[in-house]
Structure 1
Amino acid sequence: MASSERAELIAELSHQARVSTVWTVLLHNAIASRSGINVTDMQCINLLQLRGPMTPGQLADAMFLTTGGAITAVIDRLERAGMVRRRRDDQDRRRVIVEALQDGPITELGRRFLPVAEMYEKAMADYTDEELRVLIRYLTRNNTEISPGVIERVKGLD
C-alpha cells in the first residue's frame, strides 16, 4: 500500500472516530436528559459501574471535577435520585466510598440503552470474526493506552 493511501486511510479513520465521538456524546446527552440527570452525573455512574466503588476524590479526579463542592454536588444528586449510595470504607472507617446501586432508578437508566445495544448487535452481524478481532484490538488499545495517555498529557498542560 502506498504511503499516501495509508495516510488517507488514517485520516479517514481519525475523521470517523471524531464523528463517532460526537454521536456518542449526543446520545449520552439525550439519554441523560430523558432520565432526569445531566450527562456528567451519568458518566459518574458509568465510571462507578465500570471501575467499581470509588472514593469521592477518585471519582472527582477521573471526571476532572474539583474535590469538595463539584463532586459532592454530583454525588448528592445521584444519591437523591436513588442511583448511588455512600458508605464507610470497611478498612478505614474515616473514608467514604461511593457505589452505583444495582436496582431502582439505575435499572431504568440501563433500559434506555437497550435500543443502542440492539442496533449495535445488528450492525456487528455484517462483520467477520477476523474484522471483529481487529475492531476489538483497536478499541482495547484506544481504551487502555491511547485515551488514558492523552488524558494524562491534557492534565499536564495546566
Structure 2
Amino acid sequence: MSTPERERVVAELREAMQRSTLYTVLLHHTTASKAGLNVSDAQCLNALALDGPQTPGRLAQLMGITTGGAITAVIDRLEKAGYVRRSRDPDDRRRVIVELVPESAERYARYFEPVSEEFGAYLAGFSDAQLRALSAYMRHSNATMPGIIDRVRRMP
C-alpha cells in the first residue's frame, strides 16, 4: 500500500472507530433505558458480568466515581431493581462483595442479542487470520483503554 493510500485508510479507520464509539454509547443508553437503568448502573452490571463479583471500591474505581455515596447509590439502585446482591466476603467479614443475580443479568443480556447475532453472522465469513488480527486489535484496545481513561480523567 502506498503512503498516501495508507494515510487515507488510517483516516477512514479513525472515523469508523469514532462512529463505532458513538453507536456503542447510543446502544448502551438504549439498552439501559429498556432495562429501567441509567448508563452508569448498566456499566456496573457489565463490569460484574465481565469480571465477576467485586467490592464496591473496585467498582467505584472502574467507574471513576467516589467510593462513598456515589457507588453506594448505584449498588442500592441495582439491588432494588433485583440485578445485584450484596454479601459479606467470607475471608474478611468487614468487606462487602457485589455480585450479579444471574436471572436478572440474563434478562438484561437479552438486549444485546441483536448485536451478537449480527456480528456473529458477519464474522462467520472471516478467515482465521482475519479473526486473529481482530482479536489482537481488541485485546490491545482493552488492555490500553484503562490507562487512556485515567489520562483523560487527569486532564484539566
CA distance in 2, matches of 1:82, 1:155: 31
Q: Which residue of 1 aligns with 2:146?
A: 148
User: What's the TM-score once normalised by structure 2's chain length?
Assistant: 0.93
* CA offsets 1:71-126 (integer angstroms, 9 cap, x no match): 111000000111111111111111111111212x3221111211221111112123
- Check the 8 A contact 1:60/1:66 in 2, yes or no: yes
Equivalent position amino acid for 2:6 in 1: R
Structure 2 residue runs of 5 or longer lacking an equivalent are none
| 3-state secondary structure, aligned to 1:67 | coil
Q: Which residue of 2 aligns with 1:52?
A: 52
Which residue of 2 is the match for residue 22 of structure 1?
A: 22
Which residue identity is paired with 1:110? A
Q: Distance in 1 between matches of 2:39 and 2:8?
A: 34
Q: Distance in 1 between matches of 2:46 and 2:13?
A: 26
Checking the alignment, whether the CA contact within 8 Å between 1:82 and 1:106 is kept in structure 2 is: no
2:10 counterpart residue number? 10
| Runs of 4+ with deviation above 3 angstroms | none
Distance 2:126 2:51 in 1: 29
Instruction: Quote the Cα distance in structure 1 between the aligned partners of 2:142 and 2:132.
Output: 15
Query: What SS class does the counterpart of residue 95 from structure 1 fall into?
Result: strand
User: How much does 1:55 deviate?
Assistant: 1.0
Aligned residue in 2 for 1:126? 125
Counterpart residue number, 2:116: 117
* RMSD of aligned residue pairs (Cα, Å): 1.4
Q: Please state whether the residue corresponding to 1:71 is helix, strand or coil.
A: helix
C-alpha separation in 2, matches of 1:155 and 1:33? 26
The number of residues matched between the two structures is: 156
1:154 & 1:115 partners in 2: Cα distance? 32
Q: What letter matches 2:15 in structure 1?
A: H
- Percent identical pairs in the alignment equals 50
